[in-house]
Amino acid sequence: MTEEEKDILQDKVLREEANYFETNQHDELVSSDSDYRESFYLKEGISRALAKEFIEKALETPVIRIGGDEEDGAETAAYVPAASHSPSSKNNMGWYAIAATLVIVLASTFFLSDFRTANEFAQAEIDNIPKSSEVLFGSAPVARGGFDWRRAFNEGDYNSVIQNLDSSDKETRLALGISKLLCLNECEKDSDDFGQNELGWILKNDLPEGVSRSQVLWYNSLALSLSGECDEAIKSLNEITTEDSDLRKKVRKLKKKLNKDCDDKHLMKEPTDKVWGIDISHHQRNVQWNKMPDKKPDFIFLKATEGSTHTDTRYKKYKAEAEKLDIPTGAYHFFSYTSDGAKQARHFIATAKLKSGNLLPVLDCEFRRNMPNSHKVTRELMKFIRTIESELGVSPIIYCECSYYNKYLKNEVKGRCPLWISNFHREPACNYVFWQKTDKFRHPSFAGTVDYNSFKGGTQELKKYQLK
Amino acid sequence: MDNISLVALRNRDHDSWKKFMKQLRLIAAKACNQTSDDSLLDEVVQESAMAFAVKLNSKSFKLTSKLSTFMYSIARNQFLKSLGKRGTISTEQTEELENEEGTGLEHVLYREELFKKMESAFDKIDEKCKKILTAFYYEKKKMSLIAIELGYANSDAAKNIKGRCFKSLKETCLA
């Protein structure tokens, strides 16, 4: 099937124009072709993004307000839970009381609730910054070095201010900072420069006469939020003390959003295990192999194949690069439920070309929508495993979730195949050798995040899982 | 909730949507086991409303239960996904979600992650692309009609533009 045909099929499914045959074909591709799956989910994402706009338009505000105000409370309180949960009419009074209490609680948080991220909120707040130099900079000098920056600012020509203003003192530095903030993306400046350096400098030094510290702190918080410096933005917000209830409300709102958006507790910045590795495929583009030694993994699993015909386009290249750096590599096969297990195994063996020193072959099997019945799944998986065993003389490592293993494989291969278990939340309950702990590992070789795996044991034990 | 007209919601009636959103929050609170975590509840309400708006726009959408029951099941599902994203989902809840979705938790979260990426990328695309993608994927108009409405030479030209727009969005999402 060509890429164009796949594209057309996806569109038909999304537009509900696919017939029975096409729907089945689509289901098969979703389960066996990761590129297809990715594109399809992204297309589905377009509908989701548009749904958000649809609701916003219906509510006639860029902000989707959740809940309601108090005068509408009685109406909201009339909500009766779904029929299947409906209590008797006597108990309805109880439900009304609960609902009414909830309305009061929710009404108090009503103004703090909207759907925007901290970044979107900060961007919208920039529109509320006065665009007048008199209001912003008070008595600051009118012109310096022949450049009438006040005029340029008042005319909205922030690029001229940024390019021409000699910001050697506090007044002009404030003007420069605010110009950078007001000119989000259109001016000639670094993309993550929203004036936070200038505004930060002013806050550490004297403020220009007539300028409110709370206002500058607010502008600084917006700039820091936009540049992604969450902790600094929250610190700046915490310093704001003001009588202005509107500003206080906005400060609370932005802080709440920052706390939510910037929570990086799931991000793994450094390896936490003695022996660890990553797993990659063609999805990781522009890998900077020269940076791999900065945080050198003890092993790398590479995607080699999928189904009975698909080969990962970057397998050979990445394998060669990793081997140049003396990093042991392994190859995995993404299992498809739509082709014969033995055929898939032979395709994998022919493509992966594993040799002495490589990690044991890996069978990657995952849940998908509309799984075939469990007997069929187990039968095909076992065909794959047996073919690997007879051709390579070793049992493959099984990559899956514990629930998958328990459901489809435990009775057949218990103790025979080492397990590589994916669980991003807690240590797996089944007896694993490799544990995929997160997909949010930061590594200098990759632009985004990458999967991180720990090995249960030391470097000597790892050798037991390499081909002789 | 149950006396809100689907037609009014489809027609973007302001009052109906306002009423719907308010009552959805109450339903979502229940689906979230009356959580005291406001940010979790906000997320569930937002995601449920979006999931509902997608369904509302679907040709095959038919409400076979009360709207409140339907929204409860959407909100419950979104609640479990949110717990999954936050890494605070229990084994029982994971099973509940996997049964509902017919797929593993990791898969569900991967799909949600792509949705989020697209949502953020979609905010940044130019008007031309937005119009054509909206017309094709959301309003589900025929390419020939889109070409006429948006002033393209013919449906092939519109199709090419649509393809290029999606490709560029995809690249932004996966960058």
**How close, in Å, is residue A150 to chain B by CA atoms?**
31
Residue A467 tokens read as 């081909």
Tell me the chain B residues in contact with residue A369 when contact means C-beta distances shorter than 8 Å. 101-103
The kind and range of the H/E element at A345 are helix A341-352
Asked whether this complex has an ipTM greater than 0.95, the answer is no
**How close, in Å, is residue A436 to chain B by CA atoms?**
11
Render pLDDT for A145-185 as a digit per residue (tens, 0 to 9). 567 778 888 888 888 888 887 777 777 888 888 988 888 66
Output phi, psi for B74, to 5 deg. Answer: -65, -45
* Range with the largest mean pLDDT of A393-397, B12-16, B26-30, B110-114: A393-397
Render pLDDT for A381-403 as a digit per residue (tens, 0 to 9). 999 999 999 999 999 999 998 88
Handedness of CA A434, A439, A440, A445 (dihedral sign): positive
Residue A46 and residue B26: Cβ atoms within 8 Å? no
**Residue A134 neighbours by CB under 8 Å, 6+ apart:** none
**How close, in Å, is residue A284 to chain B by CA atoms?**
9
Name the percent of chain A lying above pLDDT 70.
81
Closest chain A residue to B52, measured at CA: A51
Rounded to whole angstroms, the Cα distance separating A35 from B64 reads: 35
Which of B17, B94, B140 is closest, CB to CB, to A15?
B140
Name all contacts of A126-131 with Cβ < 8 Å and 24+ positions apart.
A126/A181, A126/A182, A126/A184, A126/A222, A129/A178, A129/A181, A129/A182, A129/A219, A131/A156, A131/A182
Rounded to whole angstroms, the Cα distance separating B158 from B169 reads: 16
Residue A337 tokens read as 């439920």
Residue A403 tokens read as 């629930």
Per the listing, tokens 């890429």 go with A3
Tell me the chain A residues in contact with residue B165 when contact means C-beta distances shorter than 8 Å. none
What are the Cα distances from residue A368, in Å, to A89, A337, A412, B105, B110?
A: 43, 9, 21, 10, 12
pLDDT-based confidence at residue B79 (cuts at 50, 70, 90): very high
Residue B106 and residue A422: Cβ atoms within 8 Å? yes
Tell me the chain B residues in contact with residue A50 when contact means C-beta distances shorter than 8 Å. 122, 133-134, 137-138
Instruction: Give the dihedral of Cα atoms A12, A16, A17, A20; nearest 10 deg.
Output: 100
* Range with the largest mean pLDDT of A28-42, A248-262, A403-417, B56-70: A403-417
Residue B123 and residue A49: Cβ atoms within 8 Å? yes
Residue A162 tokens read as 């940024």
Kindly state whether B138 is in contact with chain A, defined as any CB-CB distance less than 8 angstroms: yes
- Residue A414: predicted pLDDT: 86
Handedness of CA A290, A291, A295, A298 (dihedral sign): negative
- Residue A104: predicted pLDDT: 52
Tell me the chain B residues in contact with residue A83 when contact means C-beta distances shorter than 8 Å. 65-66, 69
Tell me the chain A residues in contact with residue B107 when contact means C-beta distances shorter than 8 Å. 366-368
- Residue A191: predicted pLDDT: 58
Residue A368 and residue B14: Cβ atoms within 8 Å? no
CA angle at B108 for the pair A403 and A440, rounded to the nearest 5°: 90
Name the percent of chain A lying above pLDDT 90.
33
Over residues A254-275, the mean pLDDT reads 77
Kindly state whether B119 is in contact with chain A, defined as any CB-CB distance less than 8 angstroms: yes
pLDDT exceeds 90 at position A139: no
Q: Enumerate residues 5 to 34 of chain B having a beta carbon within 8 A of any beta carbon in chain A.
A: 9, 12-14, 16-19, 21-23, 25-27, 29-30
Which of B18, B106, B110 is closest, CB to CB, to A59?
B18
**Residue A332 neighbours by CB under 8 Å, 6+ apart:** A279, A301, A302, A303, A304, A361, A362, A363, A364, A399
**Residue B9 neighbours by CB under 8 Å, 6+ apart:** A58, B16, B17, B20, B56
Chosen for mutation from A32, A47, A286 (greatest number of chain B CBs closer than 10 Å) is A47
The answer to whether the beta carbons of residues A436 and A420 sit under 8 Å apart is yes
Residue A369 and residue B102: Cβ atoms within 8 Å? yes
Kindly state whether B37 is in contact with chain A, defined as any CB-CB distance less than 8 angstroms: no
Rounded to whole angstroms, the Cα distance separating A219 from B58 reads: 43
* Range with the largest mean pLDDT of A257-271, A316-330, B33-47: A316-330
Q: Compute chain A's Rg from CA coordinates.
A: 29
Rounded to whole angstroms, the Cα distance separating A449 from A440 reads: 5
DSSP-based three-state secondary structure for A301 = strand
**How close, in Å, is residue B103 to chain A by CA atoms?**
5
Instruction: Give the dihedral of Cα atoms A303, A306, A311, A316; nearest 10 deg.
Output: 20
Render pLDDT for B58-75 as a digit per residue (tens, 0 to 9). 877 877 788 888 999 999
Q: Which residues are paired to B34 by β-bridges?
A: none
What are the Cα distances from residue A103, in Å, to A14, A79, A114, B19?
A: 38, 11, 17, 13
Rounded to whole angstroms, the Cα distance separating A427 from A437 reads: 8
Tell me the chain A residues in contact with residue B142 when contact means C-beta distances shorter than 8 Å. none
Cβ-count burial of B8 within 10 angstroms (0-12 exposed, 13-18 middle, 19+ buried)?
A: middle
pLDDT-based confidence at residue A348 (cuts at 50, 70, 90): very high
Cβ-count burial of A127 within 10 angstroms (0-12 exposed, 13-18 middle, 19+ buried)?
A: exposed
**How close, in Å, is residue B12 to chain A by CA atoms?**
4
CA A343: distance to chain centroid?
35
Residue A226 tokens read as 């936009």
Closest CA to A454 of A299, A289, A315: A299
Chosen for mutation from A66, A184, A374 (greatest number of chain B CBs closer than 10 Å) is A66
Residue B104 and residue A366: Cβ atoms within 8 Å? yes
